Structure 1
Amino acid sequence: MSDDLTQDPARRGPLHAEHLTLGAAMTPFAGWSMPLRYTSDLEEHRAVRTAAGLFDLSHMGEIRLTGPAAGAALDRALVGNLSALAVGRARYTMICAPDGGVLDDLVVYRPGADQYLVVANASNVDVVLAALRERCTGPGVEVTDESEATALVAVQGPAAVRVLEPLIADPDERAAVVGLRYYACTFASVGSGADAGGAVRAMVARTGYTGEDGFELYVTADDAPALWRVLLAAGATAGLVPAGLACRDSLRLEAGMPLYGNELDRTTTPYEAGLGRVVKLDKVDADGAPLEFVGRGPLAARAGSEPARVLVGLQGLSRRAARHGYPVVTPGGTVVGEVTSGAPSPTLGHPIAMAYVTPEVSAVGTDLAVDVRGRPEPVRVVDLPFYRRPASA
């Protein structure tokens, strides 16, 4: 998913005043004014890895498809097989152009039998909405943009359950939330835990973009400030802190998660990004014939051929970190790729990066270098992700 920090702010989300009260450093983000950090990037990063962080993700786009034909429409519009998604589950997928290039990576929820919620990156909401309205037409399906009316708050980290569980008064809803599988969702009233009358109604999903356990809570924009405050207060004893976009980026990089505009873009296919698993070429229509979803032909051709470039992880062997756009070179100085994301890893203690390189230098263990402002810094190709949370976490 995307964290574009290059655009001028034009909009303030429903939690803008909360961020200012907490002293957040605000930054332009995909047309929004969003918190970059509250204290320090390192403190917030470490809090998410060891306790919990509270994120405002209300800039993301939410597009709802309803009706008996909604699933079939999404099967034609996206690369995944969404009609097969069980009620209460979610799926990571992509929407591609006719030539197979990625328009956006998405998370799609199925909260009801005839309902799907498509969550798009903030910078791509208009593109995704226009594509869905063009592709998902006909009787039995309706496409509605709910982005303005929806807020999204995330609790991420090993203490996430401990923060959220006491805030759900209804025992059945509490059990459902605690027992959620990864990439599943349910509904619950989240409040003081003692009085459900003042609680906020939320769709609670066990999803996230940090590599940690956690929840994402979808609520109305009007309810977002109350939810934010109650989560902050309840999580204080568990070590929860408000966390900004800077640490969200370092967390997702450690977890090897793609960022639209860096690892994914209009010129990249899912196969080059190592995400060919999300493309379901075996989808069939109601008559059992191969389903011709948008981009299927070019993607099928790519699936059977070696890509011109491969996304790899790079471990820095010196102290200087590679950054987006830096050339990747062989020990002899030949350019063989380009860094897409790079930073020092607070968890691992050394620089890490993701990069597209040519196939012949993509094997794990290959020693390369990154041209960091005219100086070659040694790196080694390693497996992605760089970080996996402990099995017991």
Structure 2
Amino acid sequence: MADGILRSPLHDRHVALGATLVPFAGWEMPVRYSGDIAEHTAVRTAAGLFDLSHMGEIAIRGADAAAFLDAALVGRMSAVALAGAKYTMICTPEGGVIDDLIVYRRDHDHFVIVANASNKDVVVAELEARVAGFDATVEDVSAEIALIAVQGPRAEDIVGRMCVRGDDDIRAMRYYSATNILLSGDIHAFAARTGYTGEDGFELFVGADEAGAVWDLALAAGAEDGIVPCGLSARDTLRLEAGMPLYGQELTRDTTPFDAGLGRVVAFGTASKPRGPFVGHDALLKAKVEGPARVLVGLVGDGRRAARAGYPVLDPEGAAVGVVTSGAPSPTLGRPIAMAYVPPALAEPGTVVGIDVRGRREEMTVAALPFYSRAS
């Protein structure tokens, strides 16, 4: 830690690679190496290597671990299979999103939650406040773990080469599943087929003291496939093209999962599979029944000027009726794209809206999310 800023266990490698380092959620992290577009394109066409060690990891253990998470989160974690993963959220009693999370089931009584770096301490505190009455413990294990991601169409081959026992385990993994693997150098890793880029890929959980060796191994294993280190800037345009929300922009305490078009992550239960109460249940049920007052949509422009977060969305008369949450030129599509909250009446794909880009109206067209899918 320098001047109160946290540093990844891979900091020295980022410096050696000439990365541009910036403050991010209390950490000093690489925003780019070779260049935003080059890194973005590498992930879409070959593979990119990401340091995600700033993310928070929280271990939940105990006989009531599954029941506790069912009560604390909006998803049904007890239904997650061993070595499975699930995208979910932790919400306020009023239904606002505190953070979006991925939960991994390591064992019947052991889960690991990955939280956003900026929200890790808040999520830990919320879970600790909600665990009373359950035979379960909440432990922040972030300092012990480094998280390294290999993302892109060549990711399977690259991670397979990193394994001592060959790539059979890797190739057999389904999306949103995980397994224990042994990497060259006798390094044990928990590998998850998850990511935040819209591409196939793997996220490798390893001991913080082994992060450098795993980073070097990935670069060596992916050299013939064109793997490149990637920073936060490429990660942001990749997730935007894939229509993936970012906490603090698409998701906040003032938005519900239903506002963001993610009501599917909220499990209310059915007559055949009833579910007990969870924090935010009543408010979220009300939000589902009433429908959102604003809707998250995609926007695509034909001009050169990009809509950025915070820019007003204008109706045909020029009145501000919404706000852009994320926006950038799309390297893959070659056009400006954005996500924005608008009234339901303007949410139909094909609807033309205006964006106030520094005092000048730029027209964009509502489009279905995601903008890009590797299956398309």
Q: TM-score, normalised by structure 1?
A: 0.93
Match of 2:293, as an amino acid?
A: A
Q: How does 1:55-94 map to 2 (within 5 A)?
A: 55-94=50-89
Distance 1:177 1:74, change over 3 A: same
Deviates more, 1:22-31 or 1:231-240: 231-240
1:275 is matched by which residue type in structure 2? L
Structure 2 equivalent of residue 205 of structure 1: 192
Q: What's the counterpart of residue 306 of structure 1? A: 291
Question: 1:28 aligned to 14, 23, 32, which one?
Answer: 23
Cα contact 1:9–1:29 (8 A) shared by 2: no
TM-aligned CA deviation for residue 332 of structure 1? 2.0
Residue 177 in structure 1 maps to residue 170 in structure 2: yes
Q: Is the 8 A contact 1:93 1:106 kept in 2?
A: yes
The range that moved more, 256-265 or 61-70, is 61-70
- Partner Cα distance (1:113, 1:143) in 2: 15
**1:18-57 matched pairs, under 5 angstroms:** 18-57=13-52
User: 1:139/1:380 Cα in 2 relative to 1: closer, same or farther (>3 Å)?
Assistant: closer
Match of 1:220 among 207, 213, 229: 207
Distance 1:84 1:68 in 2: 15
Query: Among residues 177, 180, 188, which one is paired with 1:187 in the alignment?
Result: 180
In 1, are the aligned partners of 2:191 and 2:205 still within 8 Å (CA)? yes
- Opposite residue 223 of structure 1, the aligned amino acid is E
Q: Mark the runs of 5 or more structure 2 residues left unpaired by the alignment.
A: none
User: Percent identity among equivalent residues?
Assistant: 56
- 1:182 partner letter: Y
Return the letter of the residue paired with 1:18.
R
Deviation at 1:25, TM superposition (A): 0.3
**In structure 2, C-alpha distance between the alignment counterparts of 1:79 and 1:139, rounded to whole Å:** 17
Q: State the superposition RMSD in angstroms.
A: 1.5
Q: CA deviation at 1:234?
A: 1.4
Query: Which is further off, 129-138 or 145-154?
Result: 129-138
1:377 corresponds, among 362, 365, 370, to: 362
Give distance in 1, aligned partners of 2:349 and 2:113.
Answer: 35
Find the counterpart in structure 1 of residue 328 from structure 2.
343
2:117 equivalent to 1:130 = no
Separation in structure 2 between the aligned mates of residue 283 and residue 326 of structure 1, nearest angstrom: 41
Change (3 A) 1:9 1:354: farther
Matches of 1:325 and 1:376 in 2, distance apart?
A: 14
After superposition, the C-alpha distances for 1:290-335 in whole angstroms (9 at most, x for unaligned) are 5110000100100001211000000012111000000011232121
Partner of 1:324: 309
In structure 2, the partner of 1:239 is 226
Query: Does residue 263 in structure 1 map to residue 258 in structure 2?
Result: no
Match of 1:315 in 2: 300
Decide whether the 8 Å contact of 1:150 with 1:221 is kept in 2: yes
Does structure 2 retain, via aligned residues, the 8 Å contact 1:77–1:135? Answer: yes
Letter in 2 for 1:263: E
Q: Does the 8 Å contact 2:258/2:291 carry over to 1?
A: no
- Equivalent residue for 2:93, pick from 98, 105, 108: 98
| Number of equivalenced pairs | 374
Structure 1 Cα separation of the partners of residues 53 and 271 of structure 2: 35
Given that residues 354 and 363 in structure 2 are in contact (C-alpha distance below 8 angstroms), is that contact kept between their aligned partners in structure 1? yes
Equivalents in 2 of 1:260, 1:202: separation in Å?
A: 27
Is the CA contact 2:144–2:207 (under 8 Å) kept in the aligned structure 1? yes
SS in 1 for 2:323: strand
- Superposed CA deviations along residues 94-128 of structure 1, whole A, max 9, x for unmatched, are 00011100000000000112110000000000110
State the one-letter code of the partner of 2:331: P
